[in-house]
Chain A
């Protein structure tokens, strides 16, 4: 490709990408909920002078731009795919895939929560199974 053609090509494509996504973001209706993440998405923050000058308005707007980006799931997919397949990383957002199974990494171990769970188990045993000749079934 000739130098001049390339320069025009780069200028036009870059401008179109930026402006195109910008317009698409403004035009597409905002979603309430993300099915793939099972959470509510941020909506456009309401304007007030107080939030404007405290900086909260733009902080919320920042979150809104992430949550309501067009083809959001596609872009997140691109990132996850390239993390695993291009950069050979082993987990994405602490999701780890091994032998076709998807695992959430729970590291570092939250010892307090393990202890709390163990205490609950003991409590249940004390309350319902105490003195009963109960054995676990081996399968």
Chain B
């Protein structure tokens, strides 16, 4: 089930809210668990079994690690949990990729499995592993209650598109959490903001992408509009989903960590990755990069660690070469920045840094978008005038005018400007009480508008089916 759907907003969510808030405290997790299992079953009737098995396996491994600690050998159960966790992910997500490449490399003809990717498997596998590794490290207490553990893994607000909530983040809240009008209202605000980002901005920009793909009159300008629009679409889609997850979490008394922090204002690639999909970045940092030695040790070791982490980060996004290249592309810039670019840009006005980031990021998303590598090369060629297409044309201008305001809103929306504006007003005299009125009214209107977009059956893609 998508958050951005009528069935979620006007059937599932109200039912869950009513049940959740009328049952006594000690039954709330049960309601969440049942609701989450249904939520998953609705979209993936078969793979729900896989998710249940994965969480039971995580739960049992937690107990096993704890028990093995007494005898001093908890490495074995940890290894078992990692192997089992990853083999599920590898099998369902990556088998066909390996078969395809084997066929291509050795000219063999092994048939593909053509398995549909279980939605959210990359997210819940990483969450379960964060638990077993943290129990091994002594950073998390072992969870004795299977249902509480399953509530954590399947929690529907973050189940299918993140953020990757670590067990330690919600450990205390699983046992005891409070609910209040304040949290509920904050959650609603956040949820509606995320929903607007997804339905109004991301979906409209996605529509433009589809128009571009169908267009027979591509121009240099159109290639650029498309690339920038796609970059913004991914941002609003993904950060919108994270906002909705964080908002829903608050409504049910959970405090998830932030996942995006205005990535496009970053002045370097390393800063960008501290602001973009933070829950994934910190996961790889804490469970891969630092255990491998991080930046302690020789330069070669550091280079190796960076290459491994960024290969994995790319590959996590999907079983396709373009994602691997996408990850390693960032690794190259991280290395360049450390050894050379940071010093180089220090001497220049900050405008140059912005230009650098703009090009690096726009091109990175062209790679991200290239399901087939040839498409990516074609798009890059188009952008840099290497295809025999005119600079602009009537169709390009029509769509630029039609989507221009949307692109400007998206551009500004990707910066902290709006948030700063609201904070500025709140600091004025009476500003706070005015905003206390304006904000809810605005969000209420947005909810009605979004309902209109959804009822009309507008373009509403789901971008995470590969993750």
Contacts and interface: CB of A to CB of B under 8 A. Distances in A.
The binding surface of chain A is classed by DSSP as: helix
Contacts of B215: 108
B181 A88 contact: no
B440 A62 contact: no
A127 to B, nearest CB: 34
A89 B449 contact: no
A69 B403 CA distance: 28
A76 interface: yes
A19 B18 contact: yes
Interface string B427-467: 00000110011011001100111011111111000000000
Contacts of A62: 5-7
B449 A22 contact: no
Nearest to A108: B216
Nearest to B184: A11
Interface residues of A, number: 47
B437 to A, nearest CB: 5
Given A4-B181, A10-B440, A75 B10 contact: no
A87 interface: yes
A90 B42 contact: no
Contacts of B13: 18
A58 B43 contact: yes
B455 A75 contact: yes
A118 interface: no
A13 B456 contact: no
Given A66-B455, A79-B456, A13 B43 contact: no
B14 interface: yes
B15 A22 contact: yes
Nearest to A74: B452
A113 B114 CA distance: 36
Contacts of A72: 455
Contacts of B440: 6, 9-10, 13
Interface residues of B, number: 56
Contacts of A93: 456
B436 A1 contact: yes
B185 A7 contact: yes
A11 B440 CA distance: 10
Contact of B6 (A69, A80, A87, A89): A69
A17 B9 CA distance: 10
Contact of A3 (B11, B436, B458): B436
A18 to B, nearest CB: 4
- Max count, chain B CB within 10 A of own CB: residue among A10, A61, A87, A88: A10
Contacts, number: 132
B402 A89 contact: yes
B455 A13 contact: no
Given A7-B181, A79-B452, A89-B406, A17 B447 contact: yes
Contact of B17 (A18, A75, A107): A18
Interface string B171-187: 00000000011101100
Given A10-B185, A76-B455, A88 B404 contact: yes
Interface string B6-34: 11011101110110000000000000000
Interface string A64-78: 011001001001111
Given A10-B189, A75-B451, A108-B215, A15 B17 contact: yes
A53 to B, nearest CB: 5
B359 interface: no
A89 B42 CA distance: 35
Contacts of A32: none
A123 interface: no
B456 A76 contact: yes
- Max count, chain B CB within 10 A of own CB: residue among A65, A77, A109: A65
Contact of A22 (B14, B43, B403, B405): B14
Interface of B: 1, 5-7, 9-11, 13-15, 17-18, 42-46, 180-182, 184-185, 188-189, 204, 214-216, 395, 398, 401-406, 409, 432-433, 436-437, 439-440, 443-444, 447-449, 451-458
19 contacts: A2-B436, A4-B181, A10-B185, A10-B188, A10-B443, A11-B181, A11-B184, A11-B188, A17-B444, A19-B18, A22-B11, A52-B45, A62-B5, A65-B11, A66-B6, A69-B6, A69-B455, A75-B448, A89-B204
